[in-house]
Amino acid sequence: MPWISALAIYLLVWWMVFFAMLPLFGVAREEKLKPGNDPGAPARPRLGLKVAMTTLVAAGLYGMGVAGIELFLFIIVQ
């Protein structure tokens, strides 16, 4: 697979995993809200943790996908 295609597929996997991780690990607000603030927004979004976890999970999923495809093609050729 050309490297640009591999990168494009990895980025698609990364974004899908990132959107799945966004609702996790949010710290709920306990203080009173100021006018105009969203009551559903977390007090600390912890985006750094979510980006790190997304990178690890996406790399694992991408690696399993590539390994599965390579194994499938190896079995078909044999």
pLDDT-derived band at 1 (thresholds 50, 70, 90) equals: confident
Measured at the CA of 18, the angle between CA 42 and CA 7, to 5 degrees, comes to 155
pLDDT tens for each residue of 19-54: 999 988 777 777 777 888 777 777 788 899 999 999
Q: What is the pLDDT of residues 60-70, one digit of tens each?
A: 999 999 898 88
CA-wise closest residue to 69 among 4, 18, 9: 9
pTM for the whole structure:
0.77
Q: Which residue has the higher pLDDT, 40 or 56?
A: 56
Write down the pLDDT at residue 40: 76
Q: Where along the chain do its domains lie?
A: 3-77
